[in-house]
Structure 1
């Protein structure tokens, strides 16, 4: 079966991580797989090496100063549409609203639902749900939201996780991140509204004020995005100054280093306001790092009792501090992470694709 997976970026975001891992697992199952993407900022390759068995088709997409988010979205769709060659493939599978709008008729994975105020984004989001002829969600909670909102019936195929990569980092004995940063909590993802960054900042300030936790750093890793969060970032910086918190902003971390950064963290707070699955949190569990998550139905579904939950800034602070003082047993999280493999996700995708032909 010839399969095209399409994603919107060459940078490390959750949907891109998913696309590459799924493509490699599909190739291991002897499928003929290509990944198409926009090479943002002049990228000619993805943020990490990709198995040579996967055909990578990177479409040049240069940065333009002064371009609005809406303009960038429309140009992204147009550039990918012009380059893509759908007749080469038996299955065309879009992983986001930009690629779904670029290719039209396709299978679409709806990782999570957003609410956009930018008109171009709102229209892109709507078309990317209604136009595809088949839909996949990575959790039942998101599938239920899609069903209620649009009257369509997505198929649920959970994410995999490269658990051994993060478990190996935990076993490695390396301590360079903790030597550099001291004791720290790490958030993987940008400083942006969906990630709940302001809530984390306020919760961290409360934890740090308790002498019982000792010296503690707040670290952010990642954050590459298409969107303009400058106003939110300005509010974050203003609030950090007000609270006397100086977070460490690492930006994009090399893919080989990310498991070590996560494994050496004392806690990974996961306070997203919307999620489809929670891959970064699952990777933390694979590294035996405690996770405190926002109390969302989707995260209850995916993580059950392997993480602790909080629904307010006060309870977030309490649960972070509890994890710092008395880390929970990592066994449930390890078992969960190792039970979710990309090979199984690929097998279920192949079955799904076959049912459509």
Structure 2
């Protein structure tokens, strides 16, 4: 089959990582795959080499443009480019932005869209964009049962679960080769968060937890990696840094980390912090498990579904926050950094096995089956 996957960015965000790995796995299964994406900031390629055809649509910067206007313009630019693309057997958008572009280019009647997680917007144009990408496509797919349940409850649409993969061998090999040692020499026994500073990643709560950890007499630097996004989170970042300053927490913010360096950074961490308030699967945490790094996660239904038995959960079930959550999260981090309870080696083995079980080839097979079930292939 000729399959077109589309994603909103060239940067190493979870949905983009998913798109590229899925495309390569579908190609290994014998299909003709191409990936389309928006390229901002003068990007001329993805964050890594890609083993399928790629098409990038430039989005020139306009000074003073609002986030909402930039997103709507991005949709128009991608739609215009897709309208001139050749026919394919499967059109598969990986987010609401590219679903809107595909719909504008060739309609929604045969469009597949993956819902990685559900966003919450307040700008009318973005609310409409989000709604359209859930209502109009011919079929929706989800990466977890928890997200599929949200889609069913909110929109009455049954979405097959196709799962998510992880390049477990890459992170396991980095740990085995000692690639984390230079990072430990640089930062000491550090707590790592990947995904940048934004509300959905729970960074503010993590900063409060790191302060509570220090109050327990446990000193560990917080290292934050990643973070490129379409949205403007500057006010949130300023709030996080102001809170950190008031609490005496000094996070080391690395920004996007080169692809070749990421496995070593993950493998070197003493603990991986995953206090997200919303996730569809948790790819970054799964990579940490593959490297044998203990993970402390917020107690969300989707993370219980994906990680039960392999990670430590903090807080009450649901989206706990505030001082109570920070103290509970600090307690779990303290146990990890102190060596944990006797069962932790077993938990680490469970984590490695869990990560290794999420093969991209298996995920590709699930997609092919889903394409057939929803009638687009």
TM range (shorter): over 0.9
- Taking the aligned partners of 1:16 and 1:264, their CA distance within structure 2 comes to 24
Q: Which runs of 5+ in 1 are unaligned?
A: none
What is the TM-score when the length of structure 2 is the normalising length?
0.92
**CA deviation after TM superposition for structure 1 residue 208, in Å:** 2.1
Paired residues of 2:314 and 2:328 also in contact (CA < 8 A): yes
Residue in 2 that maps onto 1:191? 197
Q: Please give the secondary structure, in 1, of the residue aligned with 2:293.
A: coil
Deviations for 1:14-45, whole angstroms, at most 9, x for unmatched residues? 10000001001111111100000011111111
After TM superposition, the runs of 4+ consecutive aligned structure 1 residues lying more than 6 A away are none
Residue in 2 that maps onto 1:81? 79
Q: How does 1:145-294 map to 2 (within 5 A)?
A: 145-174=150-179, 175-211=181-217, 213=218, 215-294=219-298
When the two chains are superposed, the root-mean-square deviation of aligned CA atoms in Å is 1.0
**CA deviation after TM superposition for structure 1 residue 114, in Å:** 1.4
- Taking the aligned partners of 1:145 and 1:239, their CA distance within structure 2 comes to 32
Residue in 2 that maps onto 1:343? 361
Residue in 1 that maps onto 2:36? 36
Deviations for 1:129-180, whole angstroms, at most 9, x for unmatched residues? 0011011000000000100000110000110110000000110113111111
Q: Please give the secondary structure, in 1, of the residue aligned with 2:253.
A: strand
Residue in 1 that maps onto 2:370? 352
- Taking the aligned partners of 1:72 and 1:119, their CA distance within structure 2 comes to 14
**CA deviation after TM superposition for structure 1 residue 4, in Å:** 0.2
Paired residues of 1:73 and 1:120 also in contact (CA < 8 A): no
Residue in 2 that maps onto 1:303? 307
Q: Which runs of 5+ in 2 are unaligned?
A: 316-324
- Taking the aligned partners of 1:259 and 1:208, their CA distance within structure 2 comes to 27
Q: Please give the secondary structure, in 2, of the residue aligned with 1:157.
A: coil
2:121 to 113, 116, 125: 116
Paired residues of 2:162 and 2:370 also in contact (CA < 8 A): no
Q: Please give the secondary structure, in 2, of the residue aligned with 1:33.
A: strand
Paired residues of 2:269 and 2:293 also in contact (CA < 8 A): yes
- Taking the aligned partners of 2:142 and 2:187, their CA distance within structure 1 comes to 37
Q: Please give the secondary structure, in 2, of the residue aligned with 1:66.
A: coil
Residue in 2 that maps onto 1:313? 326
- Taking the aligned partners of 2:158 and 2:358, their CA distance within structure 1 comes to 23
What is the TM-score when the length of structure 1 is the normalising length?
0.97
**CA deviation after TM superposition for structure 1 residue 226, in Å:** 0.8
Q: Please give the secondary structure, in 2, of the residue aligned with 1:156.
A: coil
